[in-house]
Amino acid sequence: MRVEFSSIIVFTGLISIAVGVILATTLSTVDRSARYWIAGALLSGLAALMRTVTPQGDHLIGVSIPNAVNFLINLMFALSLRALTQNSESHRRLLTGGIIFAVLYAALHEVFAELDLALIEVIVNPIVQIAMASLIGYFAVKLYQEKGFRFAAVLAVLQGMLALLWVARGVTGVSQGRIDFAALSVVNAFIFTPLMLVGTVRLLCYLGLRLEEYVAKTERSGADGLLNTLNTLALSRDNETGNHVLRTQKFVRLLAEHLQARGKLDTQGIRDYPRLLHDVAPLHDIGKVGIPDRILKKPGSLDPAEWEVMRTHTTLGAEVIDAARTPQTAADSYVNDVLHIARQVALSHHENWDGSGYPHGLAGKRIPQAAQLMAIADAYDALRSERVYKKAWSHDEAVADIVSLSGKRFDPELVGAFIGEAQRFRAIAETYHD
């Protein structure tokens, strides 16, 4: 028995084009992620419609090109999700390599078809599709872990279903030897129909993702206003430069993303944690607003009594942040997260791993990880910066000093993360130097 399902292909093709058009016309900002997804949706729709008008027996247009294009479509979806994870690496090289691979892939299809061999169609194509489904699923899971978007979790599940369907497709292809794409057997119809429909639902998930992102940005707007006020207050009493603030923000986020990629980041249940840590980093010394000028701006070294006063900037910082809590902010979960992490950083960034720090002499894991991340970022920048009492250290000298303090001042695990990102620390320091 043979089953025609061209109507399903037409339906999914029209839905794909509709999704692309909707995204292109409704998104307030068509960023890199949206451009990839829109291109993938439109290309998916056009490829599906082209398949329905292809003369039977035209292997190049009916099989080789669609399979190569399908690879490119999946690559675009993967790059789209990768962009949403705020990965700053260029995608151009990956896209160029993907296009080259797709052309070679189509050519191999034709070569094997001329030899009357079904190796590419029956075995290689399912393997490629399973790999691409897994790649998109990986970025969907990463997006869910970093930002907590529920549609990312749905997308990951859909990708798992697609991978399983392609496994079934591969097994069926091996058992039959070849698939007749013009009129499918009943067995294959039960595989390809879900493949088409699940792929269409996957397209729609992106609309949900961007809606969740918009809601998250709206939630952050209140926190952004509060952060701007607190940052202005902090900078008004800080003798550091604006570039110091920028550098330490980038350093601390780099470390947080490194740990998150390895499942070692203590996010405390807060979504988009590296971004939040980046945003609150300038508040680590906000307590200096309560330090007298004669001490804060003293050109020489401080005497023991003055050091005791200077050390109170940690507890003063916590008090300033506590004062920012109001009945209005208490109702905003994101603002509460911001103030919670900001307080940890302000209060504990001078605590040492061996318990010799201040203000409370915390040791080991009792020190909030956010504060230890801030301590490493601040220490590296201080070493690399020139002061009235010292010259700027070289990158290698700064790295060696921080490594020497592993297990004493700093968490050895975080020092390991710092070593792994040392060259990127150097690049940030050189790009944004004073």
pLDDT value, residue 32: 86
What is the phi/psi pair of residue 2, to 5°? -125, 145
Nearest to 111 by CA among 119, 100, 99: 119
Residue found by looking up tokens 């020190």 in the block: 367
Q: C-alpha distances in angstroms, 384 versus 97, 233, 376, 401?
A: 39, 25, 12, 11
- DSSP class of residue 392 equals P
53-109 per-position pLDDT tens digit: 766 556 677 677 878 888 899 999 999 998 887 655 567 788 888 888 888 888 887
Q: Which residues of the chain have pLDDT under 70?
A: 1-5, 54-59, 62, 86-90, 114-121, 173-190, 218-226, 229, 233-242, 327-332, 388-389
Cβ-contact 328, 317 below 8 angstroms? no
Q: How many CA atoms lie within 13 A of 287 on its CB side?
A: 23
pLDDT value, residue 1: 38
pTM: 0.61
169-204 per-position pLDDT tens digit: 777 765 555 555 444 455 556 677 787 788 888 888
For residue 215, the tally of other CB atoms under 10 A from its CB is 11
What does the radius of gyration of the chain's CA atoms come to, in whole angstroms?
A: 28
Q: C-alpha distances in angstroms, 327 versus 224, 323, 393?
A: 17, 11, 46
Class of domain 2-214: mainly alpha
Instruction: Locate the domains of the chain by residue range.
Output: 2-214, 237-431
Give the DSSP per-residue string, 268-316.
Answer: TT-TTHHHHHHHHGGGGGGGGGGS-HHHHT-SSPPPHHHHHHHHTHHHH
Domain formed by 237-431, architecture: Orthogonal Bundle (1.10)
Cβ-contact 253, 205 below 8 angstroms? no
pLDDT value, residue 336: 83
